[in-house]
Amino acid sequence: MPASAASDATVGDATDDGSPSDGRQADADDDAAARDRRVTDAIADAAEQRDAASGDHLAGDRTALDRSPLDSGPRDVIASEGNVADRAPADRPNTDQVATDQVAADAVVEDRTPIDRGPGDACVPHANPAWWNAQYAVRFPIALGATPDGYTITVQPHGAALTELLAAAATADGHDLRVVWHGSGAVELDRDLLAWNSGSVVFRFKVQDAGGFPGGDQAYFVYLGNAAAPPALADRRRVYHFFEDFEGFNVGDNGTPTFIPNTVDAWSVIDDGGNKVYRFLSGSTRMSAPIAGLLLSAGAVEVRMKYQQIGYRDLGGVLFRASDLTPDTFTTFGGVIYGWYGVAGVTDWSAGTWQDFLSYTYFTPALGTWYRLAVQFAAAGARVMVDDLGMGSWSGDLGPGQGIALDGYNADIVYDDVAVRLLQDPEPTVALGAAQLRCQ
């Protein structure tokens, strides 16, 4: 998040008498007390369920990922594990469509001790750090492994951790979930809530610069339990390294200056039922749209895409580690869907010539259906997913290129919600700590 995020955030530090700094009185009536008791009981029940479970919990239902590096596996071995959270198609967030195994390499939610409630049913006050906002009844500390500044973290609890988090919310759709950075003070961070239902909770936020927010990577908290919570900070441009949903463009724009389409007539912003999208429409010429100024040797790209028409030997998708995106001398790797052939996977081009599929799975897109294409790449390999299902993984030298682009060939395809995040392989661990209750 840019330094200006602190001035945009809503901060309501509690005063000594329990009132937030905006002057509102803490919710201390009988209904609130009853709600807190229900939350406490639900969290305690979840803790008992966890304690009763046999075996190593971390090795069981709360470890969601295969953390093998990208360079594992021979050429043409198809990955079966998924690891990128789905974004809801048109009306975000459509939280019921996210698979529970969707964040395979994004988050490890570790085991934790039961809630610290003191003797009997007494509430133990937690003053370090000071409670961010007294309107929120419960919080969970988040501890991170070694994490670069500006990294997008994915949190996806499982088992008892998921039960506790759901029980702590005071809203059915989880809109009271807040991510707060306790550095020099307390700052609410923008978050992307990707899923909230009985089977899956997934959200993302960006790690802050320790120089701008002292406190290190152990000072993040999730706050919940406010039925009257206003809308959360949710600017995805402050969650990802790069994000574009095309809502800031005018219909008819060709995407510049954010994108640099190498044939401007092939790319245009259109209205798709009240939602602006980026359309590729062209015949038998390769016409990519590079993201201006974005160069990465390791990263993860997610984009929603929809085929509106399939042509002979068409394709659409994401190009990565590109060293040349000129149509006649095209040199790049790609995570693509070939509608005509009915396959999806990893492919490459050299000097303008398509080389081969490096790894693929048979997949035929349905016209008019949104899909979430996700590509992860590092120095020694890449993997591709469609709707969190592995389509292909490949290990090998990806060359010196660092360009990223949307791509199209002989088709009518629309794109939306282009999100790029940094990638560390393996990804940082995420530990969700024991729930802490705000005392009345």
Q: Is the pLDDT of residue 67 over 50?
A: no
Long-range (24+ apart) CB contacts under 8 A made by 73-77 are 73/381, 73/393, 73/395, 74/395, 75/358, 75/359, 75/394, 75/395, 75/396, 76/358, 76/359, 76/394, 77/359, 77/393, 77/394
Residue, of 276 and 146, whose pLDDT is higher: 276
Average pLDDT of the segment spanning 92-114: 38
Q: Which helix (H) or strand (E) holds 270?
A: strand 267-272
Q: What's the 3-state SS for 209-232?
A: CCCCCCCHHHCEEEEECCCCCCCC
Q: State the burial class of residue 223 (Cβ atoms within 10 Å of its Cβ: 0-12, 13-18, 19+).
A: buried
Instruction: Round the average pLDDT of the chain to a whole number and report it.
Output: 77
Q: Is the peptide bond before 2 cis (omega within 30 degrees of 0)?
A: no
Tokens of 307: 């085929």
The pLDDT value given to residue 177: 98
The pLDDT value given to residue 438: 85
Residue, of 148 and 71, whose pLDDT is higher: 148
Instruction: Quick: pLDDT tens for 213-272.
Output: 444 455 899 999 999 999 999 999 999 999 999 999 999 999 999 999 988 889 999 999
Q: Which amino acid is at 209?
A: D
The pLDDT value given to residue 36: 56
Q: State the burial class of residue 114 (Cβ atoms within 10 Å of its Cβ: 0-12, 13-18, 19+).
A: middle
Q: Between the CA of residue 167 and those of 173, 315, 316, 336, what are the distances in Å?
A: 12, 45, 42, 40
The pLDDT value given to residue 8: 37
Are 184 and 214 in contact by the 8 Å Cβ rule? The answer is yes
User: 30 pLDDT band (50/70/90 cuts)?
Assistant: low
Q: Is the pLDDT of residue 64 over 70?
A: no
Instruction: Quick: pLDDT tens for 352-373.
Output: 888 889 999 999 999 999 999 9
pTM for this predicted structure: 0.73
Average pLDDT of the segment spanning 306-311: 90
The pLDDT value given to residue 367: 95
The pLDDT value given to residue 240: 97
Q: CA–CA separation, 83 vs 61, rounded Å?
A: 16
Are 47 and 159 in contact by the 8 Å Cβ rule? The answer is no
Are 115 and 435 in contact by the 8 Å Cβ rule? The answer is yes
The pLDDT value given to residue 144: 86
Q: Which domains does the chain have, with CATH numbers?
A: 5-64+107-235+427-437 (no CATH), 242-295+299-422 (2.60.120.560)
The pLDDT value given to residue 345: 96
Q: Is the pLDDT of residue 94 over 60?
A: no
The pLDDT value given to residue 249: 98
Instruction: Quick: pLDDT tens for 378-427.
Output: 988 999 999 999 999 999 999 899 999 999 988 999 999 999 999 988 88
Per cent of the chain over pLDDT 70 is 68
Tokens of 179: 């991510």
Question: b/e per residue, 250-279, with b = 16+ CB within 10 A?
Answer: eeebbbeebbbbbbeebbbbbebeebbbbb
Are 412 and 340 in contact by the 8 Å Cβ rule? The answer is no
Tokens of 92: 């975000």
Contacts of 323 (CB under 8 A, 6+ apart): 331, 332, 399, 400, 401, 402, 403
Per cent of the chain over pLDDT 90 is 50
* DSSP bridge partners of 188: 180
The pLDDT value given to residue 299: 96
The pLDDT value given to residue 111: 36
Average pLDDT of the segment spanning 338-347: 93
- Residue 399 zone, left/alpha/beta (φ > 0; ψ -120 to 50; rest): left
Residue, of 369 and 112, whose pLDDT is higher: 369
Q: CA–CA separation, 409 vs 222, rounded Å?
A: 44
Matching residue, tokens 């802490």: 436
